[in-house]
Structure 1
């Protein structure tokens, strides 16, 4: 019988760590050619919005297959479904219903980028954005790097104050709300951009040498939260799905720049086929686009553990 999880099952403190382990596994499978991860597919329902499908899974040992579907319809709940099958037995193993998994999965992908691309001694983080994606990105980052200080900026003062108080309590490290994006990022070893901004929210000149940047928000040529100057300043640019960057309806924000050809697959770094940095002062950039199949592996592991890390 399939295990069914909802948002409330994913609220325990170990969920993000489980998701990070699942994404590490997915990246290793992709590096080995064992992850099925085609670009997402949208089905239009006219002016009401789309249903968006991602299909993926693994081949080889313990193979699984599944899909994620979510709607772009207007509404408050924004729910989605992830279903996981065993390709050996045809058994439906698990269902995850709600909205939390998408944020958790994206946060976990960001954590893998930070684990493998940032300096191992990174201790400070700067966050631009104060929504749910910013929360899960920071939570995940704190699980892979021993952070001792965070600064956050968002446009609305109350939002960044609320974010700071909540995340400081959750993570047990100081989280300071600041009045400008420059103040948030200028001393950071790790920068997380998780906004809905259609225009760049920071400048490359604000960043210190050796910083690692994760961008989660808009990334099309017409709407992008990071400017081309940040990409040009990066010694290495990676993404979780090169295929997805080429499959968007609107062109990817780097598509018309010379930096597009420099972009590499995060899985190549995770698999040890490509070094992330060769000097402490090198800047690295990760562009998160949502690798298909990762939500399926995360759902399988979460269903197997009931959202709780196994004892011992």
Structure 2
């Protein structure tokens, strides 16, 4: 029987601090497999996008396919903006082990990557966290980041006041001191670490307001999206990526900066290299760092396998007959 692990079960069985350690070990393992570029289907009429991400991971005996959709107009219809399912199978036999909620699989590994980026690239004395965004990704990036550094205060901004208040209250329930910003500059100007988690096609901050020594965690998924402004990129002393080849196909703000000669590919560092010690970040106190993550399928394998293992361990799942 196949295990069905929905969002609520995933939330029940997982722990962000634990997963940070799990991912930190797994990400540096040499992986053998087949990792095709993801397929993207854009439907302009409905302002929607569908993504299909397959991977065969022989190292972990895993075949995984993740399907994700995003419909920007859905919230006005009282429907979820993003949906999707992830199928986890054994590569050696084709046996379908589990079907999981793609939103949780994605958010867990995206947040944890940002948390590890903060651990390895931010100043150890970082005490003030700024957050731009209030959705699912902002939630998970914040959870992972506060698990990586001890912050004294958090300032959040979202252009939607209702979303901003709700998000701030959620963070307060984690035992954090939180204030709400009326504009993005207030979230930026005092931040030692800044989370930028949006789906914006235009920049959402003014890099002139970044303080020296700030570390920025930014997510980006499509070439037409540019949540980071040019000033932020120009002021960055170091740019760390999850995978250079994928960022250079999918992160519009970084791609355009390279095209315009602002950044050079040969100067990029990759997070797994910092973790393994293959690369070294020579960070001075006033240096500004950017961690840019678009995600790749091996991360989905690690996230899905963790959730599957925890669900089995805690005996929390629904059995389905496919």
Give the TM-score band, short-chain normalised.
Answer: 0.7 to 0.9
Q: Distance in 1 between matches of 2:32 and 2:276?
A: 12
The Cα shift of 1:308 comes to 7.4
Counterpart of 1:263 in structure 2 is 268
Secondary structure of 1:208's counterpart equals coil
Q: Distance in 1 between matches of 2:213 and 2:131?
A: 17
Q: Distance in 2 between matches of 1:223 and 1:94?
A: 32
The Cα shift of 1:237 comes to 0.6
Counterpart of 1:184 in structure 2 is 187
Q: Distance in 2 between matches of 1:298 and 1:201?
A: 29
The Cα shift of 1:250 comes to 6.8
Could you say if the C-alpha distance between residues 5 and 304 of structure 1 is closer, same or farther in structure 2, counting changes exceeding 3 Å? same
Secondary structure of 1:144's counterpart equals coil
Give the 5 Å matches for 1:1-312: 1-12=1-12, 14-29=14-29, 32=30, 34=32, 37-43=35-41, 50-60=49-59, 62-72=60-70, 75=74, 76-77=79-80, 78-97=82-101, 99-169=103-173, 171-217=174-220, 220=223, 223-248=225-250, 252-258=255-261, 259-261=263-265, 262-306=267-311
Q: Aligned Cα RMSD in Å?
A: 2.8
Deviation larger for 127-136 or 152-161: 152-161
The Cα shift of 1:246 comes to 3.3
Secondary structure of 1:285's counterpart equals strand
Secondary structure of 1:280's counterpart equals coil
Q: Distance in 1 between matches of 2:314 and 2:151?
A: 22
Could you say if the C-alpha distance between residues 189 and 126 of structure 1 is closer, same or farther in structure 2, counting changes exceeding 3 Å? same
Deviation track 1:239-279 (CA, whole Å, cap 9, x = no partner) reads 21222223349783334232042333222222211123432
Q: Distance in 1 between matches of 2:222 and 2:40?
A: 18
Secondary structure of 1:247's counterpart equals helix
Secondary structure of 2:130's counterpart equals strand
Deviation larger for 255-264 or 34-43: 34-43
Deviation larger for 36-45 or 281-290: 36-45
Deviation larger for 109-118 or 15-24: 15-24
Higher relative contact order (CA 8 A, sep 6+): 1
The Cα shift of 1:95 comes to 1.8
Gaps of 5+ in 2: 316-322
The TM-score normalised by the length of structure 2 is 0.83
Deviation larger for 48-57 or 98-107: 48-57
Q: Distance in 2 between matches of 1:151 and 1:249?
A: 26
Secondary structure of 2:294's counterpart equals coil
Q: Distance in 2 between matches of 1:195 and 1:186?
A: 18
Q: Distance in 2 between matches of 1:24 and 1:309?
A: 22
The TM-score normalised by the length of structure 1 is 0.85
Could you say if the C-alpha distance between residues 184 and 140 of structure 1 is closer, same or farther in structure 2, counting changes exceeding 3 Å? same
Q: Distance in 1 between matches of 2:311 and 2:163?
A: 32
Secondary structure of 2:257's counterpart equals coil
Gaps of 5+ in 1: none
